[in-house]
Each structure stands twice: as structure tokens, then as C-alpha cells.
Chains A and B, each alone.
Chain A
Amino acid sequence: GNSVTQMEGPVTLSEEAFLTINCTYTATGYPSLFWYVQYPGEGLQLLLKATKADDKGSNKGFEATYRKETTSFHLEKGSVQVSDSAVYFCALTDNNNDMRFGAGTRLTVKP
């Protein structure tokens, strides 16, 4: 079945460091891929998405490219801020619309 595997955390970085959170997927069809972010005490917010191979999603300095050949959708940001501290979830939807999530990666950015 469909599934998402993402890099286990927690990840701790200093402000302005480069961020990569790895995400790979298994799907039977042609999934859409998403990154959601959960700030402390809040719900899941869509960060970015890509719906077909080679698409790049981007938002707030974050970006991820849908790589079909490596079944990956790694999240990157060139310079993280303290306000980026949150839990990041990679997710996919396939032919049906039940969203499959990765386990989440907790990011802490220190000043």
C-alpha cells in the first residue's frame, strides 16, 4: 500500500543554517505530495505541495521537488529562523483521497 517514510528527528539547528528533511514514498499510482507543518499548540498547516513529477513546491523559503526516479520529496530551506521551529509532516494522496502521513520530524532552531 501507499506509505511515506521521513527522516526521524529531532533536528536541532542554529539560526541561518541549511535545512534538509528527507521524505521518500511508496505509491501504486501517481501520488500528490505535500508538506504540512504543525506549530506548537496548533493544527496542521499546508506548507507546500507538488502534484506531478518534477514539480517544485515552494512557500516561505521552503521548497521541495517531486522526484519520481528516487520517489522522494525532500524539504529544504536555505536559512532557517527560530520561528521555523515546528513539526514537519510529509504526506501523499493517491487515487483515493485518504492522506498518508510520515511520522513527522521535529525541528528546533536555536538563536
Chain B
Amino acid sequence: EPEVTQTPSHQVTQMGQEVILRCVPISNHLYFYWYRQILGQKVEFLVSFYNNEISEKSEIFDDQFSVERPDGSNFTLKIRSTKLEDSAMYFCASSLSGGPTDTQYFGPGTRLTVL
């Protein structure tokens, strides 16, 4: 069964450094998402992406974050200058269509630790 994959599974970085989290969505899906889960807290929506553009973003997704689909398969989340509070599990998801009834399929997550 097709699945969303994410790399790395765990990333440790120093405060102020840039990180890029990578995702390979399911191949025929058109909508892509990033979510994060700070330890012990809810899973929170960050951004959705369609047709090479951001379609929605939350208030969490400020100027330090960016997303890109650099080729036909990868979808990346860049955090420009990491802060301690960026430590979290980051989940990528994809869906075939962007409608509210469509299922979003999640990857296994990347645990980001900012020291």
C-alpha cells in the first residue's frame, strides 16, 4: 500500500540553525500538508500546499517557515532559524483532493530537537 515517507526520523540541531525536513507524499496525491505536535500537546496544522502554492497556513507558520516542492516527488519544510520552541514532531500528510471529506494520509514524522 502506498505510504507517505519522511526523512530524517530524528533531527538534532542548534538554536539558530536552518533545518530542512523532507517528505515524499503518495505519488498521485495533489495536496500536501505539514503538521506539528509539541510533546504532550495537540497535533497542529501548519500549512497546506497545492499546485506549487501555499493554499492555507496557520498563525504558527510565520516567516521563519517555508515549504517547497523542489521536484516531482519531494515536499520540504524549511525552518530558517530554529528556536527552542520549534522542538516537536513534524508530520507530513498528503491527500488526493483538497476537499474536507478527503482522507489525509500521514507520514511517520520527524522528531526535531533544538538545543
| Residue positions of A touching B, CB distance < 8 A | 31-32, 34, 36, 42-46, 49, 51, 89, 91, 93-104
Contacts and interface: CB of A to CB of B under 8 A. Distances in A.
A32 B100 contact: yes
B106 A43 contact: yes
**Which among B35, B100, B101, B103 has the greatest number of chain A C-beta atoms within 10 A?**
B100
9 contacts: A32-B100, A32-B101, A43-B109, A44-B93, A45-B106, A93-B104, A94-B100, A97-B31, A99-B33
Contact of A97 (B56, B91, B108): B56
Interface of B: 4, 6, 31, 33, 35, 41-45, 48, 55-56, 58, 91, 93, 95, 98-109
A102 B42 CA distance: 6
Given A42-B108, A43-B107, A44-B91, A97 B43 contact: no
Given A96-B56, A98-B56, A103 B42 contact: yes
Contacts of B4: 43
Nearest to B47: A98
Contacts of A103: 41-42
Nearest to B31: A97
Contact of B35 (A45, A49, A93, A99): A99
A96 B100 contact: yes
A44 B106 contact: yes
